Amino acid sequence: MDVENAVLELCSLPAQVLWSFVCVYRTTCRSPPGGGSTLLLDNEEEETRKYAEPLIGSDCRQGSTSEMADLWQNAMDHAVALARRAGEVVREALQDDRKVMTKSCSVDLVTQTDQKVEQLIIQSVKEKFPTHSFIGEESVAAGEACVLTDCPTWIVDPIDGTTNFVHAFPFVAVSIGFSVNRQMEFAVVYSCLEDKMYTARRGKGAFCNGEPLQVSGQEDIKQSIISTEFGSSRDPEAVEKIFLSLRSILCIPVHGVRGAGTAAINMCHVASGCVEAYYEVGIHVWDVAAGSLLVSEAGGVLMDVDGGAADLMSRRIVAANSRTIAERLVSEIHSFSPLRDDATP
């Protein structure tokens, strides 16, 4: 049985039993220095000291203490290293001509760099964490399923802002979210042309280049900046709803409407506090998985565009600094429902 499955099984045990196991483990199963552990990932001693926190899954919170190991830190460290490497590939590719292809329509773009970066990330993760699952933008475009299960799952957008990348418009991100039990566990968004590494761990806060992030404290939407995108659908009904929403929000009036051209960076702007809220209909789970954790860990809220609970597969999102701003925004949005990411083909 692999490491994570062993832990998932442990998580289904009552807290008291689980805690007993941890106590027994701590006194009997420690690896010798430099030796491998049969239960915990590499660098367990160091990572446990640095980031001790509860085991995975909400059921596992009870009975856990700072002495329990943080099993996902190793994966997160790997994600950060991969995002940095991917960023180098993106920056190098900007020096050359970029061959542009299309996917669902003539404005839904993809390049060989998107595909190369996704392969780089997925191959490396498969070698290091062979039991983990993936949802990757270009893999799904190539026909793989887009289903979120309880398994540890890497949700990868190799280039968020492909249109920006094609035009060298300077906001391009590598976005890696990691979920366990369908709950985001860590997030890495690397804004590669700004060299900004955004990271978040569930329950541990959000950071940019190591500095803590905090959403804006502004609760008056008339004093706010809102970000959104027009998306790649040119369906007249969708375009009509997008413009109606934009008009309503602009005329509240808000201080301004912005859009970086990437959902991930738009959400990092909310987490950073320079934008009060971001909303969009038509995005995909790989665009917003990592950003959603960055926003919530920076103190923000996530919501559906109709005001219900956010659903990362629904292709609809509101990410705001506060419930007040999110609900005010919802009251102005003309919503529609694109085909879900996890819809059966």
Ligand X SMILES: O=P(O)(O)OC(CO)CO
β-partners of residue 134 are: 154
**Residue 140: how many other CB atoms lie within 10 Å:** 17
- Measured from the CB atom, the residue of 161 and 177 that comes closer to ligand X is 161
Contacting residue, 87, 161, 259, 291, with ligand X by CB under 6 A: 161
157 is in an annotated binding site: yes
Whether 249 is a known active-site residue: answer no
Count of residues making up the chain: 345
Question: Cβ 111 to Mg ion, closest distance in Å?
Answer: 13
- Measured from the CB atom, the residue of 93 and 263 that comes closer to ligand X is 263
287 binds Mg ion (CB under 5 A): yes
- Interface residues for Mg ion in 261-280 (CB under 5 A)? none
**Distance of alpha carbon 199 from alpha carbon 226, whole angstroms:** 22
Residue 225 near residue 256, CB atoms below 8 Å:
yes
> Does residue 184 sit in helix, strand or coil?
strand
> Does residue 243 sit in helix, strand or coil?
helix
Copy the structure tokens of residue 344.
């059966």
Residue 343: partners with Cβ closer than 8 Å, 6 or more residues away: none
185 binds Mg ion (CB under 5 A): no
Whether 160 is a known active-site residue: answer yes
Contacting residue, 70, 77, 118, 160, with Mg ion by CB under 5 A: 160
Strands 153-160 and 173-180: what pairing? antiparallel
Residue among 241, 227, 248 at smallest CA distance from 336: 241
Question: Cβ 199 to ligand X, closest distance in Å?
Answer: 19
Whether 137 is a known active-site residue: answer yes
Copy the structure tokens of residue 53.
């926190």
Question: Cβ 134 to ligand X, closest distance in Å?
Answer: 16
Run of H or E residues at 277: strand 277-281
67 is in an annotated binding site: no
- Measured from the CB atom, the residue of 110 and 329 that comes closer to ligand X is 110
Q: Active site residue: 4, 77, 114, 157, which one?
A: 157
Q: Active site residue: 118, 137, 229, 280, which one?
A: 137
138 binds ligand X (CB under 6 A): no
Whether 287 is a known active-site residue: answer yes
- Interface residues for ligand X in 214-273 (CB under 6 A)? 262-263
Contacting residue, 44, 70, 157, 304, with ligand X by CB under 6 A: 157
Residue 92 near residue 192, CB atoms below 8 Å:
no
Copy the structure tokens of residue 317.
């999102």
Per-residue x/- mask for ligand X, residues 275 to 294, rule CB under 6 A?
Answer: --------xx--x-------
46 is in an annotated binding site: no
Residue among 254, 261, 245, 264 at smallest CA distance from 306: 245
Residue 139 near residue 154, CB atoms below 8 Å:
no
**Distance of alpha carbon 109 from alpha carbon 174, whole angstroms:** 16
Whether 199 is a known active-site residue: answer no
- Interface residues for Mg ion in 139-158 (CB under 5 A)? 157
Q: So which residues are the catalytic ones?
A: 137, 157, 159-160, 162, 287
Q: Which residues bind Mg ion (CB under 5 A)?
A: 157, 160, 287
- Residues in contact with ligand X by CB under 6 A are 137, 157, 159-162, 262-263, 283-284, 287
Q: Which residues are annotated as a binding site for Mg(2+)?
A: 137, 157, 159-160, 287
